[in-house]
Amino acid sequence: MSSKNADAPPRRRTWSIARRLTVLYCLSAFVLLSLASGFLYWGLKNNLAEEDHELLGDMVNVIRFILRERPDDLSALREEVEWESAARRYAKYYTRILDRSNQVIMVTSGMDELVPASQFPTPLPLPESEPLRQSLEWNSPGGRTLLLASAYGQLGTNAPQGRVIQIALDVTPETAILADYRAKLGLVLLLGLAVSAAAGVWIARQGLRPLDEITRATQLVTASQLNERIGQSPWPAELSVLAMEFDRMLGRLQDSFTRLSQFSADLAHELRNPINNLMGEAEVALSRSRSPDEYRDVLESNLEELHHLARMIDSLLFIARADHAQTRLELKPLEARGEIQAVLDFHEAEAAEHEVQLSGHGDATIHADPTLLRRALSNLISNALAHTPVGGNIRVSAEKLPDGGVNLSVADDGKGIPPEHLPRVFDRFYRVDPARSRHATGTGLGLAIVKSIAELHGGSASVESQPTKGSVVTMRFPPARKGGK
């Protein structure tokens, strides 16, 4: 193992989408169940506490009534204090009555052992019409839970002295009910969490099943089977766009692979001819002794083929750099008329040799790289000269567009291009002639370079042609960028 691989940080494991969805579903279910359980428990506890306070208030009011209306009837008071509580099976309570000096007057049997008087809260001087709202929960040493309350009671209607009423309500059963309720809520919460986890796994798998189908469809795509498509199945709305864009991407890849294969075949064909020529001439020259002039002729012929190879390689390198945006542009405002005339002057001798008339017109300012602009124009004119008959005309024009861009066109009245070949004339090495005959000095990359130069400037290249009437190749240059030259 290399040191580079050894020093590489370990790849962090990530959770699958199904696991994430399951965990999020479980968390949301746990939160909802917890909130619901907590609300139910809170409601039950408050209801029980409300009932206990109402019961304590009723008992205090009964004893207050007896003390106020029947202060001398000790039997009625004893019945309420000593016997009423003993007769209850549920909601058992204990009562203690003291005078102002805290001397016990009457007490429920067993209350002194259960809860001493000192544990009760301070009596509240509440009016008898106001309900009792304050109490103290206390756990006895014997493990019972009591709700303690105390209040003042008036002895007679006119007597100034009063009594202190202490009542202890046994809420142990309610505490047990609440504990049992908490346990059941906890069990429900755990079961709900387990069911939610199982449901989350099932829902996640069902929801992600279309992704599995897309995965299986993409696994069929290979370099030799780029015609496979995901198809227009009724995918979910979130995946339909993905499937459509993936099919479009496969279409672009298939087209790119097709073009690459064609380019490789064309490149092999273009390189084979000059290399075979070089090898053949060298073998013939070496087959027997020759004169210096004959060797010179072979070297000159080889040099011509080598120049052709050099031009081809230079063109391919330029296109490769243009495809990867590695060509640096020096944009300048250029007068189209002057640039056109400069290129026409360069090709004037060649046009005169072919007896072709060159002309240029149009006034516009093009924001372009001057070297690349002249190279594109030169390629277009050279291509037009190769396909324009004797006595023909080549017209170069510049047209300013409403948006500020410029159309630069080269038109000839040659034999034209059949319609079926128009979509591919800018492909590298593409030949309209099935026999792949090439111009003596051409590389078959002229129009491909023109298209690359136009796209480097943010523009485009197009061609219009009619058989026997000629062709028009147009480069569109966009308007100058804001802040640019």
Query: Does residue 52 sit in the same domain as residue 158?
Result: yes
HEC profile for 16-53? CHHHHHHHHHHHHHHHHHHHHHHHHHHHHHHHHHHHHH
Residues 39 and 132 in one domain: yes
pLDDT for 130: 57
Report residue 234 CA to chain centroid gap: 22
Question: Is 114 found in the same domain as 75?
Answer: yes
Closest CA to 97 of 51, 166, 186: 166
**Residue 395: pLDDT over 90:** yes
Say whether both 333 and 277 belong to one domain. no
Look-up of token digits 């052992």: 113
Query: What's 404's domain CATH number?
Result: 3.30.565.10
* pLDDT above 50: residue 354: yes
Place of tokens 């199904």: 18
Does the residue 214 lie in any domain? no
- 187: pLDDT confidence band, cut at 50, 70 and 90? very high
CATH assignment of the domain containing 121: 3.30.450
Is the residue at 277 inside a domain?
Answer: yes
Q: Tell which of 259, 286, 321 closes a domain.
A: 321
Q: Please name which of 169, 55, 64, 163 lies closest in space to residue 111, comparing C-alpha atoms.
A: 169
Quick one: what percent of the chain has pLDDT higher than 90? Answer: 8
In a domain, 3, yes or no: no
Query: Which CB contacts under 8 angstroms, 24+ apart, belong to 438-441?
Result: 438/270, 439/386, 441/308
Angle at 381 between CA 377 and CA 384, to 5 degrees: 140
470 in the Ramachandran plot: left (φ > 0), alpha (ψ -120 to 50) or beta? Answer: left
* Euclidean distance between CA atoms 127 and 157, whole angstroms: 14
Answer yes or no: is 482 within a domain: no
Read off the pTM: 0.50
- Residues 101, 174, single domain; the answer is yes
Q: Is residue 368 part of a domain?
A: yes
Is 203 among the domain residues?
no
Q: Give the integer Cα–Cα distance in Å for 113 and 194.
A: 48
One domain, residues 316 and 341: no
Residue 371 Cα distances to 187, 337, 368, 375, angstroms: 82, 15, 9, 6
At what angle are helices 172-219 and 17-69 packed, to 10 degrees?
160
Q: What is the CATH classification number for the domain harbouring 282?
A: 1.10.287.130
State the pLDDT at residue 476: 93
How many separate domains does the chain show? 3
Same domain, 264 and 381: no
Helices (H), 83-220: 111-114, 172-219
8 within a domain of the structure (yes/no): no
Same domain, residue pair 248 and 136:
no
Domain stops at, among 137, 163, 180: 180
Say whether 314 sits in a helix, a strand or coil.
helix
Q: What is the pLDDT of residues 112-157, one digit of tens each?
A: 888 888 888 888 665 555 556 677 888 888 888 888 988 888 777 7
For residue 303, what are the domain limits?
Answer: 237-321
Query: What is the phi-psi region of residue 284: left when phi exceeds 0, alpha when psi lies from -120 to 50, beta otherwise?
Result: alpha
The predicted pLDDT at position 1 comes to 45
The verdict on 53 and 68 lying in the same domain is yes
Specify whether 258 is located in the same domain as 348.
Answer: no
Regarding whether 169 and 46 lie in a shared domain, the answer is: yes
Residues 343, 417: one domain?
A: yes
Average pLDDT of the residues in 448-472: 86
Give the sheet arrangement for strand 460-466, strand by strand: 357-361, 393-400, 406-412, 470-477, 460-466
186, part of any domain: no
Q: Which among 133, 153, 180 is the end of a domain?
A: 180
